[in-house]
Structure 1
Amino acid sequence: MPEPRRRWFGLVFVSLAVAMIIVDSTIVNVAIPSIVTELDVDSTGVQWIQESYTLVFASLLLVFGTIADRRGRRLLLIIGVAVFALASIAAACAPTGAFLIASRLVQGVGGALVLPTTLSLINAGFRGRERALAFAVWGSTIGGMTALGPLLGGWLTTEFSWRWAFGINIPLGVLIIFGALVTVDESRDAQSHERIDIAGAVLSIIASASLVFALIEGRVYGWWLTKATLRIGDWAWPFEVSIIPFVFLLALGASVLFVGSAWRRRRRGRSTMLALDLFAIPSFRNGNIAALIVSLGEFGIVLALPIWLQNALGYSAVETGLVLLALAGGAFLASGFAGAFGNRVAPVIIVRVGIIAEIVGVGAIGFVVGPDTPWLPLTVFLFVYGFGVGLATAQLTGVVLADVPLSESGRGSGTQSTARQIGSALGIAVLGTVLFSSTGTVLGSLLDDASVPASTRDRIVTTVVDSAGAAIGPLEQNARTSEFAADARTALSDGTRAAAWSAAGFLVVGLAATASLGSGVRDAEREGRMPPPKTARWAQVRGEP
Structure 2
Amino acid sequence: MQSSGSRGWAGLVFISIAVSLIIVDSTIVNVAIPAIVDDLGITSTQVQWVQEAYTLVFASLLLIFGSLADRFGRRRIMLIGVVLFVLSSVAAALAPTGDLLIAARLVQGVGGAMILPTTLSLINATFRGRERGIAFAVWGSTIGGMAAVGPLLGGWLTTAFSWRWAFGINIPLGILIIIGVLLTVSESRDAHAKSIDIVGGLLSFVTFGALVFGMIEGRTLGWWESTGDFTLGEWTWPFALSPVPIALTVAVLAAVAFVAWGLRRERAGRSSLLSFGLFRIGTFRSGNIAALVVSLGEFGIILSLPLWLQFVLGFDALQTGLILLALAVGSFFASGAAGAASGRIPAVWVVRAGLIAEIIGVLWVAFVIAPDAAWGWLVPALFIYGFGVGLATAQLTGVILVDVPVEQSGQGSGTQSTARQVGSALGIAILGTVLFTSTAGVLTSSLNDQGVPAAQVDQVVSQVVDSAGGAIAGLEESPDTAPLADAAKTAFSDGTRWAAFTAAGFLAVGLVATLALPARRPDDDVDAPTSAASPPAAP
Q: TM-score range by the shorter chain?
A: over 0.9
Q: For residue 100 of structure 1, what is the aligned residue in structure 2?
A: 101
Q: Which residue of 1 aligns with 2:334?
A: 334
Tell me the CA shift for residue 74 of structure 1.
0.7
Deviation string 1:321-357 (CA, Å, 9 cap, x unpaired) is 0110011211121122101112211000000010011
The alpha-carbon deviation at position 536 of structure 1 amounts to 8.1
Alignment of 1:305-344 (within 5 A): 305-344=305-344
Cα separation, 2, equivalents of 1:535 and 1:424: 30
Deviation at 1:521, TM superposition (A): 11
CA distance, structure 1, for counterparts of residue 236 and residue 147 of structure 2:
43
- So what's the TM-score if we normalise by structure 2? 0.96
The answer (yes or no) to whether the contact 1:403–1:520 under 8 Å persists in 2 is no
- What one-letter code is carried by the residue in structure 2 that aligns with 1:302? I
Change (3 A) 1:56 1:520: farther
CA deviation after TM superposition for structure 1 residue 233, in Å: 3.1
Distance 1:519 1:403, change over 3 A: farther
TM-score (norm 1): 0.95
Give secondary structure in 1 for the equivalent of 2:328.
helix
- Alpha-carbon distance in 2 for matches of 1:101, 1:538: 40
Q: Does 1:413 align with 2:407?
A: no
Q: Output aligned runs, 1:3-152, within 5 Å.
A: 4-152=5-153
Question: Structure 2: which amino acid aligns with 1:258?
Answer: F
* Corresponding letter in the other structure for 1:357: A
C-alpha contact 2:295 2:421 (8 A) present in aligned 1: yes
Alignment pair present for 1:268 and 2:268: yes
Q: Which amino acid aligns with 1:187?
A: S
Which string of whole-angstrom CA distances, capped at 9 and with x for unpartnered residues, describes residues 221-240 of structure 1? 11111111322234322222
Q: Percent identity between the aligned chains?
A: 62
Partner of 1:195: 195
- Give the superposition deviation at 1:537: 6.7
Q: Equivalent residues in 2 for 1:58-457 (5 A)?
A: 58-192=59-193, 194-457=194-457
> 1:521/1:191 Cα in 2 relative to 1: closer, same or farther (>3 Å)?
farther
Q: Residue 100 of structure 1 aligns to which amino acid in structure 2?
A: L
Equivalent position amino acid for 2:138 in 1? V
2:521, 2:261 → 1: CA distance? 28
**Structure 2: 5+ residue runs without aligned partners?**
none
In the TM superposition, residue 271 of structure 1 has moved relative to its aligned partner by 0.9
Give SS of 1:540's match.
Answer: coil
Alignment partner of 1:373: what SS? coil
Partner of 2:534, secondary structure, is helix
Letter in 1 for 2:70: D
For residue 143 of structure 1, report the CA deviation from its aligned partner: 4.1
Say how many residue pairs are matched.
533
Aligned in 2, Cα 1:470/1:401: closer, same or farther, shift over 3 Å?
same
Q: Which amino acid aligns with 1:211?
A: L
Query: In angstroms, what is the RMSD of aligned CA positions?
Result: 1.9
> Quick one: distance in 2 between partners of 1:327 and 1:533?
34
Q: Which amino acid in 1 is paired with 2:197? A: D
Counterpart AA for 1:309:
L
Amino acid at match of 1:33: P
CA distance in structure 1 between the partners assigned to 2:103 and 2:237 by the alignment: 24
Q: Alpha carbons of 1:283 and 1:227: their partners in 2 closer, same or farther (altered >3 Å)? A: same
Task: Name the aligned partner's letter for residue 155 of structure 2.
Answer: G
Q: Quick check: 1:505 aligned with 2:505?
A: yes
CA distance change for structure 1 residues 77 and 348 in 2, over 3 Å: closer, same or farther? same
Taking the aligned partners of 1:103 and 1:117, their CA distance within structure 2 comes to 22
| 1:478 paired residue number | 478
Q: 1:142 to 1:53 in 2, by over 3 A?
A: same
Partners of 1:3 and 1:484 lie apart in 2 by 62
